[in-house]
Amino acid sequence: MSERIDFEIARVLGAPIDPNFKVSLPLAEICNLETAQPGELVRIFNSSDEDANVDDIYSVDANGGLTIHKVSPVAPATMTFVGVQSKLEYVLIDEILPAADQSALARKKAGITRAMDKKELSNILAAIVAVASQEVTQGSGVDLYDLIQAMIHKVEDYGDNYALLVGSSVKEAIDAYDKVNADNFNYRVGLKEFIASSGITVTKVIGKVNGTRVLATDKLILVARDSTLAVGKPITFVRRLMSPEIQQLMKSEQAERAISVAQAPTVINADGKNTLGYGVFGYESVIQTITNYRALAWATLA
């Protein structure tokens, strides 16, 4: 290790994220992924004249809330970056000083990365569910097959190549659908075959962030990833790249997501013990924008 322990912690924790997996899998499934240079403005233009209502776009704030923007081919909307920060973690001196394999650092890095990935995904899924006009309701006599079919009908005029993000209860219902309904139908319906033939990729979303599930267990979100009205996917995710000066200040080796380490140990009063540790947190600046809300549909399984 170097003489400065905080430099060593930052070097290991701040290693570049895998270029093949810059974001969580569900986010990569539904978003266009972009980066912006320091100081660069991110503007969204309306590229469609097929439907006048598609000039409404939504930006997503740090809590998954929506701000509506009106855009046109000549008057773009300028998006605002918001910060995403992990909670403050600690690397204990007793863990780091004798650690030859640096496993304590690896655990902290993995925990910070998971937390920030879940927060990114949670924000965009909360924003989708906040678009009330895209809800598909499950009426009386409508089962899961009918519900998914209605969601497809909701978005099929605006895109195809579907991704279906589901909570754990919905995934279980999909898996058990044929068996549960074996005695109810006069013929086999085959929900999984219908999903596959419709070009839908199913992704189960699990985990919690800040004590709340990333996606409620009874929620379904359908995203048409090849839009007929705009280029690419209906959601755009942008990370602000950090300048070399800021990277050096935060002792980070990556430009998109910084892992910052306190320069000196901090007293941690856990269980009344004055334990020393180095404070560690992750930070990034992002834009999450729904550019074509009509290519999205969501529902709640009754």
In the block, tokens 């409508």 appear at: 142
Q: What is the mean pLDDT of residues 261-274?
A: 76
Render pLDDT for 85-140 as a digit per residue (tens, 0 to 9).
888 888 887 776 655 556 667 777 788 888 889 999 999 999 999 999 999 999 88
Render pLDDT for 171-197 as a digit per residue (tens, 0 to 9).
999 999 888 777 766 666 789 999 999
Calpha distance 264→4 (Å, rounded) = 9
Q: Which of 23-27, 58-62, 63-67, 135-139 has the lowest mean pLDDT?
A: 63-67
Q: What percent of the chain has pLDDT over 70?
A: 77
Q: Residue 1 — very low, low, confident or very high, per pLDDT cuts 50/70/90?
A: very low
pLDDT given at position 151: 98
pLDDT given at position 78: 79
What is the phi/psi pair of residue 263, to 5°? -75, -30
Higher-pLDDT residue of 51, 81: 81
- pTM comes to 0.81
Q: How many residues can be counted in the chain?
A: 302
CB-based contacts of 171-174 (< 8 A; 24+ apart in sequence)? 171/202, 171/204, 173/144, 173/301, 174/144, 174/202
Beta partners for residue 66, in sequence order: 60
C-alpha distance from residue 64 to each of 7, 75, 99, 223, 287 (Å): 34, 25, 39, 17, 11
Q: Among the ranges 21-25, 146-150, 272-276, which has the highest mean pLDDT value?
A: 146-150
pLDDT given at position 214: 95
Sequence-distant (≥ 6) Cβ neighbours of residue 250 within 8 angstroms: 10, 242, 258, 259, 260, 283
Q: Residue 18 — very low, low, confident or very high, per pLDDT cuts 50/70/90?
A: low
